[in-house]
Amino acid sequence: MAFWGNKQEGEGQQPPPQIPAPGTGSLEDGYNELVKAKGRAPAIDLAIKLSDLILEYAVRERASDVHIETQGPNLRVRFRVDGILQDMLNSPKNSDIPLTQRIRVLAGFDPEPPTSFRNEEGRFQKMLAGRAIQVRVSSFPTVNGEKLVLRVLDRQQLGLDLDQVGLDQDALTLIKKLIRNPYGIFFITGSTGSGKTTSLYAMLKNINTPMINVITLEDPVEYRLEGINQAQINAKTGFTWAEGLRTILRQDPDVIMVGEIRDFESAEISLRAALTGHLLFTTIHTINAPSIIERLFEMGVPPFLIGSSMLGAMSQRLVRKVCPKCAQNAAPPSEPVVNEFIKNMDPEEGKVVKELILRPGAAYKVEKGCAECRNTGYMGRTGIFELMLMNEDIRKHILDHAPTDMIKRAAIKGGKMRTLLMDGILKARTGTTTLAEIIRVTATMV
């Protein structure tokens, strides 16, 4: 027991000589080598080696999450890479290598899972590939035993640079101007894993200087940012979104980031703060940028407050980039196929989409698959964006309490807003991704 607790990061990581060095091949190879060393090395050393090996592979494969499943006869390890889970290891389990106990201890849990259910969340930091990788651990008691999920937070992968999130030059120029407003509120929407936290952080980083006071309210604080005052929501102690916001407003802030707005109270405090000389960024859960307004109506926020404080809104998704090593050129889809695709869209919107797909000069690609991309045909991800800027037309619709489709039409027409689909098609036209990927990601707009 003491041994588990005493094993600190950075110490004792050198394997004793009798353990073979991990193979250069797959994680499965590495695991098999460790299994062969059984009995020749202390079980704990094998477990340490195996957990290190899994994390090394996770960073190498750019995995965002690592799933460790030990419920059946097998030890199964899956990585989420570019948003999709892949089997990395599925071999007979070895109870002599106490892998889950090792990870539980790293995460600050007891080595054995609790007998009755308790929510367990922990984190640890590890030096891998020459940099500090933060790992957030969650344990889940399935009926057959424990499942561990490790969220790998690699700042380098994150690239908190606004120029690199995937915004094109026009949108980037607009956003940089918008986030330099002295006051107002800007909303980002997108599903879990859409990259919206990364965008928020990139915006804060872009405007942060010693001359302004930037405060965030988050749940959880995902990445520690230098020079920014980050606070964590804690409902148990009464530090709720609304309470946190009231506290922040007494801290002489210039810029406030509110992790999420989900009720009337925090919405009202935020929008009023935006009217009284503060710049706010926040996220809200809706299917697209224009429907943020309806969501605020539903919460009970008065239209005048929305119309006078809102600077704009952005919706985003992550799409996989086609693998540059194996992608093949593709012809544009035929006109009848496009007509079928747009038949249920708003006619104005459908017209723009059709023109975008069929306009000559596109360099469409189709995915194939090679060793480099693990036969997925894709490598890495980028964002697609729907940027809606406030204008007189939209403001008038807000004051009239107009429904989302009218606001959306006004944004496309007057504000020249590109929808997620339109922005995605532009990225497919340049061969960054494929039309199939854009349709996959934008078809489920929840």
User: Would the CA dihedral through 436, 441, 445, 446 be positive or negative?
Assistant: positive
Q: Which is nearer to Zn ion, 325 or 396 (CB)?
A: 325
Q: Which is nearer to Zn ion, 54 or 326 (CB)?
A: 326
- Give the interface segment with Zn ion, choosing from 3-11, 244-252, 319-327, 328-336 (CB under 5 A): 319-327
Q: Considering the complex, what minimum distance in angstroms separates the CB of residue 321 from Zn ion?
A: 11
* CA 184/CA 10 separation, integer angstroms: 46
**SS3 category, 389:** strand
Write down the residue that tokens 């997925």 correspond to. Answer: 376
- Give the interface segment with Zn ion, choosing from 157-165, 278-286, 290-298, 364-372 (CB under 5 A): 364-372
Pattern 365-394, binding to Zn ion, x per CB under 5 A?
-----x-xx---------------------
Given candidates 323, 407, 412, 417, which one binds Zn ion under the rule CB under 5 A? Answer: 323
Lateral strand order in the sheet of 184-189: 229-232, 214-218, 255-258, 279-283, 184-189, 310-322, 378-389
Q: Considering the complex, what minimum distance in angstroms separates the CB of residue 60 from Zn ion?
A: 16
Residue list 86-125, contact with Zn ion (CB under 5 A): none
* CA 19/CA 38 separation, integer angstroms: 9
Kindly state whether residue 325 participates in binding Zn ion, applying the rule CB under 5 A. Answer: yes
Q: Which is nearer to Zn ion, 151 or 374 (CB)?
A: 374
Cβ distance 378 to 365 under 8 Å?
no
Q: Between 43-60 and 99-106, two packed helices, what is the crossing angle to 10 degrees?
A: 70
* CA 254/CA 273 separation, integer angstroms: 10
* CA 256/CA 284 separation, integer angstroms: 15
Q: Which is nearer to Zn ion, 323 or 422 (CB)?
A: 323
- Give the interface segment with Zn ion, choosing from 23-31, 293-301, 315-323, 346-354 (CB under 5 A): 315-323
Q: Which is nearer to Zn ion, 251 or 375 (CB)?
A: 375
Q: Considering the complex, what minimum distance in angstroms separates the CB of residue 370 from Zn ion?
A: 4
Q: Considering the complex, what minimum distance in angstroms separates the CB of residue 62 from Zn ion?
A: 14
Pattern 295-314, binding to Zn ion, x per CB under 5 A?
--------------------
Q: Considering the complex, what minimum distance in angstroms separates the CB of residue 79 from Zn ion?
A: 17
Q: Is 229 exposed, middle or buried (0-12, 13-18, 19+ CB in 10 A)?
A: middle
- Give the interface segment with Zn ion, choosing from 69-77, 271-279, 321-329, 405-413 (CB under 5 A): 321-329
How distant, in Å, are the alpha carbons of 53, 79, 80, 94, 152 from that of 91? 15, 15, 19, 9, 23
Q: Considering the complex, what minimum distance in angstroms separates the CB of residue 322 from Zn ion?
A: 8
Contacts with Zn ion: how many residues (CB under 5 A)?
6
Q: Which is nearer to Zn ion, 131 or 440 (CB)?
A: 440
Given candidates 66, 99, 202, 326, which one binds Zn ion under the rule CB under 5 A? Answer: 326
- Give the interface segment with Zn ion, choosing from 89-97, 147-155, 291-299, 362-370 (CB under 5 A): 362-370
Number of H helices, E strands in the chain: 17, 15
Cα three-residue angle 53-58-59, rounded to 5 degrees: 105
Q: β-strands 145-153, 131-142: how paired?
A: antiparallel
Q: Which is nearer to Zn ion, 58 or 373 (CB)?
A: 373
Return residues touching Zn ion (CB under 5 A).
323, 325-326, 370, 372-373
